Chains A and B, each alone.
Chain A
Amino acid sequence: YPLFQRGGPQLRIFRPNFFMLLVRPGVPQPEDTVQFRVSMEMTKVDIRNYLEKIYNVPVAAVRTRIQYGANNKRNHRNQRVKKPDYKVAYVQLGQGQTFQFPNLFPEKEQDAETRSFDDFRDKFMEKEKQKQEGDPRRGGVPDWFGL
């Protein structure tokens, strides 16, 4: 390929491994902050352009850090196994937008049948437990003790 100079024809296309993964924050974040795991080669400028141009999300500020993956676990051969490093980006949205990570596993509403079945099951288990235990008046002393 001929050497590229500004204004010349673009003959090569670069396809860097740029990905962004929206994650639930481990610690509570302010309402306008969204947390991503991004590729290690992405910079703050790359993250801003990615969100603004591909997804039309207004970005006010981006802060990044690199999370070191620990190297303490050992496999069956006593070799150290490393967890991979990854970059975390905290993106503050512009124009007063807010974001809350959704609850991906909501509790399903139980209809009357399942609720009554659950109640019946709980009562049955309680009765079984009481049968297993001895007389409460004996204060926990086993029944083989005595005359």
Chain B
Amino acid sequence: MASLRVRRLLGPSRRWFSETVPGAPSPPASPLYPPVVASITAKSKAAKSRRLQRFNQRVHAAATVEEKLRLYGKLQRPKYTVYPQTFALNADRWYRSFTRTVLVPGMPPRAAAAKRSVAAAGATPEAGRAPEPGVEAPAAAEAPGPAKTPEPAAGAAPYVDIGDLRSLACDALLQESFYQKKKRPFLYRDQDHTPGPFLTQLVSTLAASLSGRNPLLAASSLDLNPEVNYYWHHGEEVVLHGHRKGRVDPVRFQIDDNPHLQIRVPKQLPEVVPLESDLGDVPVIDHKPSKLPLFKKQYENKVFIGSKVADPCCYGHTQFHLLPDKLKRERFIRERLEDQIEVVYRSNGIASLFAWTAAQAMYQGFWSEADVTRPFVSQAVVTDGKYFAFFCYQLNTLALTAETIKNNPRKNICWGTDSKPLYDVVEDGNVKGFNDEVLLQLVLFLLNRPKEL
């Protein structure tokens, strides 16, 4: 009785348990409760990893490269400022460990093969060049026959006239140091007085004259005193003082560099060796970076190649660095630190090129969680006016943080030469002891271009 009245009270629309209407779809099997995950705000390792994952997802999901860079460098904390031009002893070993770079002495092999063909072309006497260009080209093509590199020989067949370029370089040098009347340089400003303007003049005239041979140079952009910045994490440390004491933090680095000159191009230079090649070992240094000495500061985390993201010339070609007065050779010789002279060139080359190539990679959307899929190659020339050292850098990996470096077998590679003098001395309107090899290497650097062009 009671059950019948209850049924009527429920009404005709209510369905009793035993009266399931056939044909109605069963509800989708979604979980009744939200997933059980770690907290976001707790002071625990699980919470920290969840916050990191959310940050990584935000950066991955960013629509534009500018947004990615903004999120990447948003959180400001004290970081080590790495100076490419430093007087610290054995700085290049430390810099190689910070940037996971292998240093290979000498220039990469493709440059050597092209060098032989161009040198053979240039070495045939310039006096007879005008009447017999047709004879020179086959001679140049035959000389590197055993080298088995048909492309550079064919590419160098319109050969480069070293005599012309040598006269250009000597003109620039004499103009700056002999013909032009200059007052005495201000104290500790010797480098801005003569070698600086000479380098600018040399590079701009050489680039202009070689742009006929190298169409990439014709489309390039030459920056005067640009700024190059890069910010990255490498390794971990425990915070010692302050309200965040005891927490594990990544070690942050920032490079702020001002090369003297820079050439940016719209197309990327070709890779020198495959992405996963292993050409040596990276030095491992157990000590804290502050023992180098390196100091911490907190300021804007900037990533910049010399132009903003929208610029079409977003790949790097060559940088030119001028060493300051503080790091001149005479000072090292006076303090009996002759081995540190080369260290200065190497540390400048490695740090500046790492910052530039890594910033170029970030401009293309890669970062430490999204590693590069193709290697980024750039070149640099470090000089103090008379001595020139050449560097070529290939960036194979950006994943240097403590998490991503665990399973990362790739290393960045830097080829570098020792410093060689371009000339011996300038007197009475003559340049004595001009070194053709250095000029040749400079010309080869400027002529470097992707294979399609």
Chain A contacts to B: CB under 8 angstroms: 27-30, 32-33, 58, 60-61, 63, 92, 94, 96
Knowing A58-B336, A60-B337, A94-B337 are in contact, say whether A29-B287 is a contact too (CB < 8 A): yes
Contacts A60-B89, A63-B293, A92-B89; is A28 near B336 (CB within 8 Å)?
A: no
Give the CA-CA distance A15 to B167 in the complex, in Å.
Answer: 62
- Contact (Cβ within 8 A) B291 A30: yes
Interface membership of B286, Cβ < 8 A: yes
**Which A residue sits closest to B285, measured CB to CB?**
A30
Contact-residue size bin, chain B (C-beta under 8 Å from the other chain): 10 to 19
Contact B336 A94, beta carbon cutoff 8 Å: yes
Q: How far is the CA of A143 from the CA of B167 in the complex (A)?
A: 107
A77 to chain B, nearest CB (A): 32
> Residue on B with the closest CB to A29?
B291
In angstroms, Cα B337 to Cα A121, docked, is 59
* Shortest distance from the beta carbon of B239 to any chain A beta carbon, whole Å: 15
Contacts of B335 in A (CB 8 A): 60
User: Which residues between 67 and 106 of chain B lie within 8 Å of chain A, taking CB atoms?
Assistant: 88-89
Residue of B nearest to A52 (CB): B336
B287–A28 CB distance below 8 A: yes
Taking A28-B286, A61-B89, A92-B89 as contacts, is the C-beta distance between A33 and B291 under 8 angstroms?
yes
List residues of chain A with CB within 8 A of the CB of B293: 63
Tell me which residues across on chain A come within 8 A of B88, comparing CB atoms.
61
- 5 A-B contacts (beta carbon < 8 Å): A32-B89, A33-B291, A60-B89, A92-B89, A96-B339
* B contacts, CB < 8 Å to A: 88-89, 285-288, 291, 293, 335-337, 339-340
Q: Which residues of B contact A63 (CB under 8 A)?
A: 293
Q: Bound state CA distance, A63 and B337, in angstroms?
A: 17
Whole-angstrom distance between the Cβ of B111 and the nearest chain A Cβ: 32
Residue ID in chain B nearest A61 by CB atoms: B89
On chain A, the residues within 8 Å of B286 by CB distance are: 28
Taking a contact as CB atoms under 8 Å apart, the answer to whether B287 and A30 are in contact is yes
Could you tell me the distance in whole angstroms from the C-beta of A146 to the nearest C-beta in chain B?
47
State A32–B88 Cα separation when bound (angstroms).
13
Q: Which residues on the B side are within 8 Å of A92 (C-beta)?
A: 89
Give B286's nearest chain A residue, CB to CB: A28
Q: Which residues of chain B come closer than 8 Å to A61, judged between CB atoms?
A: 88-89
What are the 9 tightest A-B residue pairs by CB atom distance, in nearest-first order?
Answer: A30-B291, A30-B287, A60-B89, A92-B89, A61-B89, A60-B337, A28-B287, A29-B291, A63-B293
A27 to B240: give the CA distance in the assembly, Å: 13
**Nearest B residue (CB) for A33:** B291
CA distance A58 to B285 in the complex (A): 24
Shortest beta-carbon distance from B330 to chain A in Å: 17
A93's nearest neighbour on chain B, judged by CB, is: B89
Alpha-carbon gap, A58 to B340, bound state (A)? 14
Q: How far is it, in angstroms, between the C-alpha of A30 and the C-alpha of B293 when the chains are bound?
A: 11
In the complex, which residues of chain A have a beta carbon less than 8 angstroms from the beta carbon of B288?
A: 27
| CB closest chain-B residue, reference A96 | B339
Complex Cα gap A32–B337 (Å) = 14
**What's the Cα separation between A32 and B291 when bound, in Å?**
11
* Residues on B with beta carbons closer than 8 Å to the beta carbon of A33: 291
User: Beyond A60-B335, A94-B337: 11 further Cβ-contacts under 8 Å?
Assistant: A27-B288, A29-B287, A29-B291, A32-B89, A33-B291, A60-B337, A60-B340, A61-B88, A63-B293, A92-B89, A94-B336
A92 CB → nearest B CB, Å: 6
In the assembled complex, how far is the CB of residue B295 from the closest CB belonging to chain A, in whole angstroms? 11
Closest-CB distance, A62 to chain B (whole angstroms): 11
The CA of A61 and the CA of B335, in the complex, are separated in Å by 10
Could you tell me the distance between the alpha carbons of A18 and B291 in the complex, rounded to whole angstroms? 26
Q: Chain A residue with minimal CB distance to B336?
A: A94
Q: How many angstroms between the C-alpha atoms of A28 and B290 in the bound complex? A: 11
User: Which partner residue on chain B sits nearest A31 by CB separation?
Assistant: B287
